[in-house]
Amino acid sequence: MSKVSVLGAGSWGTALAITAARNGHQVTLWGRSDEKLRGIQETRENKYYLPDVLLPDNILATSSLEKTVKEADAILLVVPSTQIRSICRQIRPYLQKGQLIINTAKGIEVETLERLSVVIEEELAGIEHEFCFLSGPSHAEEVGRGMPTAIVASSHNRMAAAHTQDLLMSTVFRIYTNTDLLGVELAAALKNAIALGIGIAIGLGYGDNTMAALITRGLAEVSRMGIAAGADPATFAGLAGVGDLIVTCASKHSRNRKAGVLLGQGHKLDQVLQEVGMVVEGIRATEAAEAMSRKYNVPMPICHEIYQILFQDKPAQEAVGALMGRSKKDEHKESPDFS
């Protein structure tokens, strides 16, 4: 039995806490709201983020960050990507030598274009620890209910990935290891932009043909970018690539898809964020994709048009026309063209 601390008491943090607890570990679930945490502790349910799923007795909900971090063997970072640098600065004084840090946030820091593993290593420099990134097709609503799920534990350190595998893998939560951390992180972040595009198409009233086109051509964009950055092409054909892309684009649970639907229906971005009520990672992922496209000179036309819709007030219907009216291309070759 290990002591596992989960930082972030949202839906995914709660689901992962339940997963670790079911494996027999002593789990601490940390969040910022004393009121919500007291409710979780008393009712054994996270009614706001993961209703109707009971928490095992070996989960303690608390707002004490120092104790949560100091006593842990493994620490899961389950906060939005924009909070990763901040949470690392907060936990740094309490970290102990040799702890396993498992990040689950999917994103790229827009200001620096750094992957989150790089951000974490910068903030925790000088502290001896293991690091792993947990990613793949996994909605909290299903994981919390014990529905069969397969994901990826990625790290440059095979032992850290295997350690994560040992902690969380079960008969309903299968974990594969992958040492291509670069590819897994890029796939995890950029697929959220494509899911926004899927939602926009649904909001416009389009059907299955459009969905299939966006998913396959979106995967081509994400793969091209990843390969240009030095990732293993095989990663994009696996759980962290096409697997995560499918679940994010197709699922009713996807907040990126939901946000896209509202955008396609003509709602403004601030209205969309208010309606969704949770972090929509695809928005910052689209910003990052636009910047990376130019940095690496890799065409990402779908992400570019989503960027235009989000930040340049381009009508969604015009964006569709721009995509469909592009010059003729070979399916497997894409020359740099930002016109």
Q: What amino acid positions are annotated as catalytic residues?
A: 191
Q: What is d(CA 95, CA 168) in angstroms, rounded to the nearest whole number?
A: 21
Angle of the 255-264 helix axis to the 181-203 helix axis, nearest 10 = 40
For residue 237, give the DSSP letter.
Answer: G
Q: At 254, phi and psi to the nearest 5?
A: -75, 115
Q: What is d(CA 192, CA 299) in angstroms, rounded to the nearest whole number?
A: 17
CB atoms within 10 A of CB 66: 11
Find where tokens 């902690």 sit: 167
Instruction: Select from 53, 100, 103, 51 the least CA-distant residue to 78.
Output: 103
> Quick one: tokens of 223?
């793969």
DSSP strands (E only) in 141-253:
149-154, 173-178
Q: Exposed, middle or buried, 207 (CB in 10 Å: 0-12/13-18/19+)?
A: exposed
Q: Exposed, middle or buried, 273 (CB in 10 Å: 0-12/13-18/19+)?
A: middle
Angle of the 181-203 helix axis to the 316-324 helix axis, nearest 10 = 120
Instruction: Select from 58, 63, 25, 29 the least CA-distant residue to 46.
Output: 29
Q: What is d(CA 188, CA 245) in angstroms, rounded to the nearest whole number?
A: 8
Instruction: Select from 260, 122, 273, 245 the least CA-distant residue to 204.
Output: 260
CA angle in degrees (0–180, nearest 5) for 332-338-339: 115
